Structure 1
Amino acid sequence: MSNILAKKILLSFKKTVLSSRAKESSDLLKKLHFQKQKILKGIPAKAVARNAVHYISHNIRKGNINTTKADILHRIDEAISHVSSSSAQISSIGSKKIKKGMVVYVHGFSESVLNILTKAKKEGVSFEVHCTEEKPHMEGRLFAIALAKNKIPVKYYADLAIRQAMKRSDIVLMGANIISENGQVYGRIGSELIADVAERFDVPVYICADTWKYSKEAASEFDKNKLLRPQGEIWSKPPKAVTVLNYGFEKIHPWLITGIISETGIYKPHQLIFELKKNNPWMM
């Protein structure tokens, strides 16, 4: 879903450039800057979308209007290519981690994890998935249904049965909302608990995510909101003496993560951050 949002935003910028009647580059850039600020304000914690916006707007060459338009449109096409192809690349790399007879533990609904598992299935690998619920949104059930549609056998556990599901597992695959500068991964609530239990059972934990999930800005916005969701999702009218803390997300510490499976390969969290900073200085 994050890549779909990014592509939608990129196409809106493309429409702005193609329809612009600006005579000077400065006029077009002012219009795009206003559009950029408006969009970023509306997607405070959407890492992939934020990176897409930053990619097309950093260090634009200020030449004549036609040169500037061509530069921006080229970047937009490159960004669209990235968000359109990264999923297939992650699936290709991640599916090689799934071996015959494995039990794969998953949590929440991650398109990247789903694509990895369906690709492994199509490649003829037989395996089983252990899936724990993620309340109150029931993402575990939705993920189990998606797996079943692809004829992948699933054992579905209550959210508190993490230990029971884990001790029979060989590998953990989870998605990510954001990857922070210090290598922490922001995931669905329960993610760090699962990683912690996995360490006790010596089960490797892999995060499956586009490198554009790395964002200092998005991580900062998450922290401002304290990772909380509306209390009404779990208790609409609690007694006055009860404070409802509906944490929807939490951080997984880097030392609990075996590797991050991305479109560029599999890296330790800090190794991935190092590579991204070196090769993508525009990332914010």
Structure 2
Amino acid sequence: MKDLVGRINSIREDRTHGAGELSRRALEILREAAQENRSPTTAGFLEEMGVICRELIAARPSMAIIASSVGRFRRRLTEYAGREKDIESLRTFAVRAAAEIMEEISSAKGQAVTAAAGLFADGTRMVTCSYSSTILQVLEQAAREKRFPVTVLESRFGAYSYGEITACRLREKGINCRVIPDDRAREAVAEADLILVGADAVLPDGSLVNGYPTLELATAAAERHPRVPFYAVCESLKFHPRGAITLEEGFQLIPSWMIKGIICEEGIIDPGRVAEYSAGPAAT
């Protein structure tokens, strides 16, 4: 496959797109790699695809959906290879499997978005931080019927202000919002009715991995009396099946007790029930 290493490195180095978008790129790489693979044997095909799977998973260890979606692809490929030995049939199946998993992710995301949009009423004062394409879709869908103010923490890390990126995308959709400095998280929470953030991973104990300054926002929400409801919105493929995860620079771990609920395609679930919806073991 042309420039395979470069394309995987582009996922590894990307700091402006969310986990869901990068998982789609990972599956596109697998789909194209399957199309272009010219191994004459099933064993060779599986070995080469397995190497690519491992490299994709290692590229972004904090983003569980990459490991889960790539793992789902590899399991289906291995199961099919156990039934069908013809290399051309296996290649065709691999291409189709990658496309089907992309559709499954899109469908699950759409259901989670609809569930989260249902939390809004006219005038709901909402706060978010970091960058999440899922949260952008939630706000776009909710804004079709409701009018509400949106506050975004600047979410500055390194050379990027992820809050400004979020605000720019919202304004493109005609949604007004304000961006405030990260050190004003408590002020934003004091005026909020609802906090929604995306997720890069959700661990089996219900704790959340997301970009800075999600922990500061969650802490401020937890300190309010009464507490401001804090939700994460994501597909269940972001539920990490293992109890430990490597945190990349700029990512934070938010304990489950700070989170009111995880909104996924199954609806709003208690963080304590995350393990029931785990996507299964990642590919290795």
TM-score normalized by structure 1? 0.81
1:52 matched to 2:69: yes
Q: CA deviation at 1:144?
A: 2.4
The aligned residue for residue 267 of structure 1 is: 269
**Equivalent residue in structure 2 for 1:146, among 169, 173, 178:** 169
* Structure 1 residues 195-274: aligned runs within 5 Å: 195-201=218-224, 202-216=227-241, 220-222=245-247, 227-228=248-249, 248-274=250-276
The aligned residue for residue 108 of structure 1 is: 130
Contact 1:44 1:218 in 2 (8 A): no
**Equivalent residue in structure 1 for 2:116, among 90, 94, 113:** 94
CA distance in 2, matches of 1:33, 1:163: 46
CA pair 164-38 structure 1, distance change in 2 beyond 3 A: closer
CA distance in 2, matches of 1:199, 1:134: 19
CA distance in 2, matches of 1:149, 1:76: 31
Moved over 4 A (4+): 216-219
CA distance in 2, matches of 1:196, 1:99: 25
1:113 aligned counterpart, secondary structure: helix
1:64 aligned counterpart, secondary structure: coil
Q: CA deviation at 1:71?
A: 4.3
CA distance in 1, matches of 2:26, 2:135: 24
Q: Tell me the number of residue pairs that the alignment of Structure 1 and Structure 2 aligns.
A: 257
Deviation by residue 1:201-226 (Cα, 9 ceiling, x = unmatched): 2210010112222225695222xxxx
Q: CA deviation at 1:180?
A: 1.6
Contact 1:45 1:219 in 2 (8 A): no
The aligned residue for residue 281 of structure 1 is: 280
Q: Structure 1: give runs of 5+ residues left out of the alignment.
A: 229-247
Q: CA deviation at 1:283?
A: 4.4
The aligned residue for residue 25 of structure 1 is: 42
CA distance in 2, matches of 1:275, 1:214: 7
Which one is further off, 85-94 or 51-60?
Answer: 85-94
Contact 1:55 1:75 in 2 (8 A): no
CA RMSD of aligned residues (A): 2.3
Identity %: 19
Q: CA deviation at 1:70?
A: 4.8
The aligned residue for residue 56 of structure 2 is: 39
CA pair 39-150 structure 1, distance change in 2 beyond 3 A: closer
1:97 aligned counterpart, secondary structure: coil
CA pair 257-20 structure 1, distance change in 2 beyond 3 A: same
One-letter amino acid matched to 2:72:
Y
Deviation by residue 1:129-150 (Cα, 9 ceiling, x = unmatched): 1222212322222222332333
The aligned residue for residue 7 of structure 2 is: none
CA pair 253-47 structure 1, distance change in 2 beyond 3 A: same
CA pair 259-162 structure 1, distance change in 2 beyond 3 A: same
Contact 1:45 1:217 in 2 (8 A): no
TM-score normalized by structure 2? 0.81
Q: CA deviation at 1:171?
A: 0.5
